[in-house]
Structure 1
């Protein structure tokens, strides 16, 4: 308890100086830089990046974490000393949103996506989706490898529209026959259970349907992008349980060429530590 009180006090003191630091021109980092620094601080223990979070407004959508800096601090206080790891693999910015693809060891090894929303230079809202790290998939690919550099920033909106159409037509079943209009045949796959290519994707989806556990997308809540990378945030059902789907796509020449994802079960309402919902 003493450790928790001290940690929360430190977080609030550091955060209270954020406005002064900005007004004095001490913080000229981009939104992306701030979000990356905050995630890295989970491992480093550096208290400075906490000042990038609005101490009076931090809306939390991780259902196991309470709202505000106090909720964030309470989770950190539960970690055994030196146990947390956080390696940001990919970082992107879309206006006031930043989305990150991160390799965690945070109460166990996990692949994660984090989304941060900024207002007036400070983080005011956070969403995430976490999945246990698995062995390489049938194509030998991990949940993290592949390209990381952003290209085609001038095509961001075009690529977001492409992914929005794919989610509606294919993932949500609006017009699944259009799948080849969206995806190249030699589709590179990082889902731990599926190999490369459209044939492997189709076989995996059919196997789940035949087993009575189809992957069902019922709603899309967010499409974010920077250049050739686009993240889709959706909800639905996986293995018979309400689930959140975060799908990251790499786009090339107007088609989807690569895919990473995380799937996380949405907890029952009585297990939530905040009232904001997963989305």
Structure 2
């Protein structure tokens, strides 16, 4: 029943033409990451970020001043990010970005989700995971390579179907419901989680001792664009915040998967009181 209700809501939500500002929001999100954050141009903060900006990144203080202080501190300490953008999705007032970010000798995969209001970023979530080199992954893939086409035409009905399938995959499948996984997987399954081999059987094996009750999962945000769906997911029992990305085939089956896993810090370690979600 829950997924039927989600499907009905999604069909209603996408039964109108694409949100008018999606391309503009994508461009603004990329400017925030590359021109403001990476290039450390704090003059852009008031242009790109809403006066009531809400921060969920654990180590950055709230509001515009939190961003300003973080960027200035990085600049003063000689920390210069280098960013390789992998995927950019937009739907409605949300934009999601997956990227590889290097600072000095450290490289991480970062997922960012931005919410826009009146052309400015009003809220931001992210997760960060240290990159495992491709030569060391269990599947031979890097954590950001692979497919996905946000410019592919997908009907409103199929976008809604993809969103519902992705939510069910995160909510029930990754929590250990094998029958859900079997129903949602396509003929191929390309894996980018560095610990898991390609194909469906390793996933089934990973959850073979589960009764389908693992995870205590909450899907907080979703973005479906082209053949991709991105979501911010809380796995409370595991203490993880994860930005998940899946690629769908033409029937909505899940054929490729990326994730960016971050442990949720203790409440006293946050730079604000907003939490990660």
**TM score, norm. by length of structure 2:** 0.80
Using the TM superposition, give the Cα deviation of residue 199 of structure 1 relative to its aligned residue in structure 2, in angstroms: 1.1
Look up the match of 2:52: 57
> Which of residues 195, 198, 201 in structure 2 aligns to 1:199?
201
Unaligned runs of 5+ in 2: 1-20
Count residues with an aligned counterpart. Answer: 244
| 1:37-56 correspondence to structure 2 within 5 Å | 37-41=31-35, 42-47=37-42, 49-50=44-45, 51-54=47-50, 56=51
Instruction: Tell me the equivalent position of 1:9.
Output: none
Corresponding position: 1:31 with 2:25 = yes
**Counterpart-to-counterpart distance in 2, 1:37 and 1:148:** 22
Q: Given the two structures, how large is their TM-score scaled by the length of structure 1?
A: 0.79
Answer whether contact 2:169 2:184 (CA < 8 A) is retained.
Answer: yes
* Corresponding residue number in structure 1 for 2:138: 138
Unaligned residue ranges in structure 1 (runs of 5+): 1-26
Alignment of 1:27-176 (within 5 A): 30-41=24-35, 42-47=37-42, 49-50=44-45, 51-54=47-50, 56-79=51-74, 80-81=77-78, 83-106=80-103, 108-136=106-134, 137-150=137-150, 151-154=152-155, 155-173=158-176, 175-176=177-178
- Aligned residues of 2:186 and 2:249 also touching (Cα < 8 A): no
Structure 1 residues 16-64: Cα deviation after superposition (integer angstroms, max 9, x where no partner): xxxxxxxxxxx9970001101111122233456431111x211000111
Specify which structure has the bigger relative contact order, considering alpha-carbon pairs within 8 angstroms and separated by 6 or more residues.
Answer: 2
Q: Which of structures 1 and 2 has the bigger CA Rg?
A: 1
**CA deviation after TM superposition for structure 1 residue 201, in Å:** 2.0
After TM superposition, where is structure 1 displaced by more than 6 Å over at least 4 residues in a row?
none
Partner of 1:189: 191
Q: Measure the CA separation in 2 of the matches of 1:29 and 1:168.
A: 29
